[in-house]
Amino acid sequence: MKLQSRNKVDAAFSMASMTDLIFLLLIFFMLTSSFVTPSGLPVNLPTSKPSAMEVQKVSVTVTKDLQFFVNDKKVTKATLESELKSKIGGPKGVVVLHIDESVPTRELVFVAGIANSMNAKVSIATKPK
């Protein structure tokens, strides 16, 4: 007497749920990577003790040959104030200074003074020790 089972076991593995998971992870990493906006200009930042991170709204970079950049756009020293006014937008702005360590302090004070006159919060970017 031959007995047959009515329930057949399918040995195939469905990848549908695995692809859904991979796409969700891909979207998550794409969204979180857009929150990090490092300055693309090569400057040798000074070192300091680690501190709290600031949300970067406006980035001002001064290179060692005294070229000024606002959000990676080259500006002259004379047009720096008007460019910062258009980028900050209001009194709650945040300006992050990326200044090469060989730049004289008077240039740091000049840029920080402009941002401070607009009631913006000024932070200096440094490398951790």
Number of domains in the chain: 1
pLDDT in tens, 77-93: 889 888 888 888 766 77
Q: How far apart are CA 96 and CA 31, in angstroms?
A: 23
- In the prediction, which pLDDT does 91 show? 67
Q: Is 120 exposed, middle or buried (0-12, 13-18, 19+ CB in 10 A)?
A: buried
- CATH number for the domain harbouring residue 64: 3.30.420
pTM exceeds 0.85 for this model: no
User: Confidence band (pLDDT; 50, 70, 90) for 12?
Assistant: confident
**Structural domain that includes position 93:** 47-128
From CA 13, how far away is CA 35, in angstroms rounded?
A: 37
User: Residue 128: pLDDT above 70?
Assistant: yes
**103 lies in a domain?**
yes
